[in-house]
Amino acid sequence: MPFTTTVITGATSGIGKETAMALAKKDHAVYMLVRDMERGEELRQEIIAVTKNKNVYVLKCDLADMASVRDAAGVLKASLMAVNILINNAGGIFAERHESKDGYEMTFAVNHLSHFLLVNNLLPLLQKGQARIINVSSEAHRMAKPNFNDLQWLKRPYSAWKAYGTAKLFNIYFTRSLAIKYGPKGISAFALHPGLVNTGFGTGLTGIGKTLMWLARPFMISAESGAQTSIYLASAARIDAKSGKYFKNRHVASPSAQATDELGRNRLWDLSMEMIKPFTDQ
């Protein structure tokens, strides 16, 4: 692959950091969208020191604030001719129901809707770059209980794991929709499960969720290992024929039967498009 421009969210820790470092070593120009600019700048300096690649940049982007996502996309469009790789890596699980700045349930906003907006606002650059869009999902999608009449968890008791699993299912829906809608325009899209990674994920959980994470700790893999599928999808040659697929351990895997629900996938797209309208350039 010639000079490659890569944009990644959630790069300041965990698998995002390992992915950004690895791709900088492969001479990608790496644009890290971060909430904490101080941490982002520290990481930028670290990556440059380790890789000797000076084409590493940090942009402010708070995924819990749709205007911030819109503004970050605007900066990229003003700065770049094309984007070749977009890695929607950031995510989170929240013990209690919180709302984003725009009033959306936080799990839904951070794991799905913000990335949906980012992709839609970057479409001109993604099409010019014949881009690969890589969405970090999870095997937690198998716990999903989507209710399209209550995406914001207002009408039922909030469950951290069900909300998270549903958002990760939505990552797979989004991937498949992108492959179908924009494949003819040269864009490919992939979803992946990084593995059960030993990072700060889930540290805010309480009760049974906290206990489950503690029990799983001895079986977790390193962030470096967890980043390998993202790195593979961002750098491997000749994988565009597998666009729309779900990956584990750098291989195509079968998601849940629910992940193939075309009606649910299309409904998510339509609802998401309606939600992002105030923040799009169209």
pLDDT in tens, 79-122: 999 999 999 999 999 999 999 999 999 999 999 999 999 999 99
84-88, 167-171, 199-203, 271-275: segment of lowest average pLDDT: 199-203
**What is the structure's pLDDT at 211?**
46
* 130: its two tokens: 């014949």
Secondary structure of residue 47 in the 3-state scheme: helix
Architecture field, domain 5-196+223-279:
3-Layer(aba) Sandwich (3.40)
Q: Model confidence at 228, in pLDDT bands (50, 70, 90)?
A: very high
Secondary structure of residue 246 in the 3-state scheme: strand
**What is the structure's pLDDT at 218?**
52
User: Is residue 91 a contact partner of residue 136, using CB atoms and an 8 Å limit?
Assistant: yes
Residue range 151-173: average pLDDT? 96
**What is the structure's pLDDT at 202?**
46
Residue range 184-189: average pLDDT? 97
DSSP assigned state of 279:
G
Chain center to CA of 73: 15
Q: Is the pLDDT of residue 203 over 60?
A: no
67-71, 133-137, 205-209: segment of lowest average pLDDT: 205-209
List, for residues 115-146, the tens digit of each pLDDT value: 999 999 999 999 999 999 999 999 999 999 99
**What is the structure's pLDDT at 219?**
47
Q: Is the pLDDT of residue 201 over 80?
A: no
**What is the structure's pLDDT at 197?**
56
List, for residues 1-34, the tens digit of each pLDDT value: 458 999 999 999 999 999 999 999 999 999 999 9
Q: Model confidence at 225, in pLDDT bands (50, 70, 90)?
A: confident
In angstroms, the Cα distances linking 226 to 57, 142, 217 are: 23, 19, 14
* 216: its two tokens: 């799983």
Phi-psi region of 14 (alpha: psi -120 to 50; beta: other; left: phi over 0): left
DSSP assigned state of 110:
I
Is 0.85 topped by the overall pTM? yes
Angle between helix axes 160-182 and 114-121 (nearest 10 degrees) is 20
C-alpha torsion 39→5→9→241, nearest 10: -150
Q: Is the pLDDT of residue 234 over 90?
A: yes
Active-site residue numbers?
A: 164
Q: What's the half-sphere exposure (Cβ side, CA atoms, 13 Å) at 67?
A: 3
Q: Model confidence at 200, in pLDDT bands (50, 70, 90)?
A: low
User: Is residue 14 a contact partner of residue 2, using CB atoms and an 8 Å limit?
Assistant: no
Q: Is 273 exposed, middle or buried (0-12, 13-18, 19+ CB in 10 A)?
A: middle
